[in-house]
Structure 1
Amino acid sequence: MDITGYCRDLIKILDQAESMSEKLTPLKLIDAWSGKGVSKFRVAEVTPPKHPREELERIVAHLLLQQYLREDFSFTAFATISYLKIGPKAGLLENEAHVITIEGMTNKKSAYKDRLSQSSNSKRSRENDQAISKTVQDSVVKKSQKHKQPNCGSNLKTKKLKLQAGGDDQPVLLD
Structure 2
Amino acid sequence: CRRVLIAHHFDEVWDSANCNRMCDNCCRENSCEKMDITGYCRDLIKILEQAENMSEKLTPLKLIDAWSGKGVSKLRVAEVTPPKHPREELERIIAHLLLQQYLKEDFSFTAFATISYLKIGPKAGLLKNEAHVITIQGITNKKSVYKDKSSQSSNSKGSRGNAQTVSKTVQDSVVKKSQEYKRPNCGSNLKAKKLKLQAGGDDQPVVLD
**Pairwise TM-score range, normalised by the shorter structure:** 0.5 to 0.7
Post-superposition Cα deviations, 1:137-164, rounded to whole Å, max 9, x if no partner, equal xxxxxxxxxxxxxxxxxxxxxxxxxxxx
Equivalent position of 2:51 in the other structure: 17
1:25-44 matched pairs, under 5 angstroms: 25-44=59-78
Residue identity opposite 2:84 in structure 1: K
Equivalent residue in structure 2 for 1:46, among 60, 65, 80: 80
**Cα separation, 1, equivalents of 2:154 and 2:131:** 44
Equivalent position of 1:131 in the other structure: none
CA positional deviation for 1:122: 1.5
Q: Does residue 108 of structure 2 align to residue 74 of structure 1?
A: yes
CA positional deviation for 1:104: 1.2
Equivalent residue in structure 2 for 1:87, among 121, 125, 142: 121
**Secondary structure in 2 matching 1:13:** helix
Q: Does residue 151 of structure 2 align to residue 122 of structure 1?
A: yes
Query: Larger C-alpha radius of gyration, 1 or 2?
Result: 2
CA positional deviation for 1:55: 0.3
**TM-score, normalising length: structure 2:** 0.54
Post-superposition Cα deviations, 1:34-62, rounded to whole Å, max 9, x if no partner, equal 00111111000000000000000000000
Equivalent residue in structure 1 for 2:91, among 44, 57, 61: 57
Consecutive unaligned residues in structure 1, runs of 5 or more: 127-175
More relative contact order in 1 or in 2 (CA 8 Å, sep 6+)?
Answer: 2
Consecutive unaligned residues in structure 2, runs of 5 or more: 1-34, 156-209
Cα distance change on mapping 1:103 and 1:94 into 2, 3 Å? same
**8 A Cα contact 1:55 1:105, kept in partner:** no
CA positional deviation for 1:118: 3.7
| Higher share of residues assigned helix | 2
